[in-house]
Amino acid sequence: MRFLLDAEQRAFAASLDALLTAADTPAVIRDWSRGDHASGRALWSRVADTGVFALAVPEAYEGLGPRPVELAVAFVELGRHAVPGPLVETVTAAVLLTGADPGTAERLLPGLASGEPMATVATKGAHALDGDAAALRISWEPGRIRLSPGHGPVRPSLDPARRLTPLLPGGDLLAIPADQALTWARLATAAQALGVGLALLGRTVGYVGQRTQFGVPVGSFQAVKHRLADARIALEFARPLLFGAALTMEPADVAAAKVAACEAAYGTARTALQLHGAIGYTAEYDLSLWLTKARALRTTWGDPGECRALVVSAAGDRRW
């Protein structure tokens, strides 16, 4: 199969890249990590204006979707620029509420399609991402969800820009078939991870081309070239899995894409950290903003073991 993005999809990615490149996202990320959401909300609003969140909302509720391929295109760019906020969770909330009763869907989905409000989702026993910033907080249990009345204190996280909070119990109870929402969450996370990995690789290639040892760029050494080539190959192998999964939206395909993309991003983060030397460990250096995100996304919405188990169990049911 030969699959390439069409001209409209490439233009969508380019427009998002241009918007985010001009936004100084490292400063936005650091504000967000301190709990100052003003610059993040302004960036969120500009991202929403491009229609990103409408891609997961059906046209019947003022959305543009469902369009998983375009959503994957968008989330690669959001990951490439490490945009903070409950991006995946807002998409997941939209997919969850698409299965709600018509009254609830008509009340909440148009807002999510427009990107206002932010939403977050937490499965039973887990913490919600950015519950302090989200206005719509959803507690998700098998077969049903609750609209949580609030959130608890912010807890520290490996990625300072991922602010975790418990959700308060209670709230309206909705019975909803939710399997498809998990697939969308994993697809968006996989795309975000691929973008993070691409950014780490690009920054590392630039760094080793400038830093010199023995009078030559570090990047001219064969061992460095091999590490970077391995990272590039892993990321490029993950790309067709991601977009293939966006076409089928089969849970096992999406799980495979999440494993490939997140492992490629995590491996690239390790390479980037090593090739940057000691400076790579410092929180003040922008590289850290992508390093911590690669680590966090690896276990978000299903760790590698859980996703691999789903792929293996589905393989027995398929006819090859």
Domain boundaries, the chain: 7-178, 181-317
Give how far Cα 227 sits from Cα of 29, 35, 59, 184, 316, Å: 28, 36, 45, 32, 35
Superfamily of the domain at 181-317: Butyryl-CoA Dehydrogenase, subunit A, domain 3 (1.20.140.10)
Structure confidence at residue 99 as a pLDDT band (50, 70, 90): confident
pLDDT category at 18 given cuts 50, 70, 90 is very high
Residue 319 has pLDDT above 70, yes or no: no
CATH code linked to domain 7-178? 1.10.540.10
What's the token pair of residue 242? 């991601």
Residue 59 · residue 67 · CB < 8 Å: no
Question: What pLDDT is recorded for position 175?
Answer: 67
Would you tell me the crossing angle of helices 179-210 and 87-98 to the nearest 10 degrees? 160
CA distances from 209 to 131, 138, 230 (A): 41, 46, 17
Q: Report the alpha-carbon distance of residue 21 to residue 44 in Å, rounded.
A: 14
Average pLDDT over residues 69-88: 97
Cis before 166 (ω within 30): no
Residue-wise pLDDT tens digits, 19-39: 999 999 999 999 999 999 999
Q: Which residue has the higher pLDDT, 286 or 178?
A: 286
Average pLDDT over residues 223-246: 97
Q: How far is 184 from 63, CA to CA, in rounded Å?
A: 16
Q: What would the pLDDT profile of 119-160 be if each residue is shown by its tens digit?
A: 999 998 899 999 999 999 999 987 788 999 999 999 988 899
Residue keyed to tokens 């490490």: 82
Judged by DSSP in three states, 225 sits in helix
Contact 243, 4 (CB under 8 A): no
Give me 172's structure tokens: 């309206």
Task: Determine the length of the chain.
Answer: 320
- In the block, tokens 């509720």 appear at 61
pLDDT for 318 equals 63
Residue 1 pLDDT greater than 60, yes or no: no
Gap between the Cα atoms of 257 and 112, Å rounded: 26
pLDDT above 80 for 2: no
Are 91 and 190 a contacting pair, CB within 8 Å? no
Beta sheet of 144-147, edge-to-edge order: 119-123, 136-141, 144-147, 172-175
What pLDDT does residue 287 have?
96
CA-based nearest residue to 84, from 147, 128, 28: 28
d(CA 140, CA 148): 10
Residue 101 has pLDDT above 70, yes or no: yes
What pLDDT sits at residue 196? 98
Measured distance between the N- and C-terminal CA atoms of the chain, rounded to whole angstroms: 15
- Per DSSP, helices labelled H in 87-178 are 87-98, 102-114
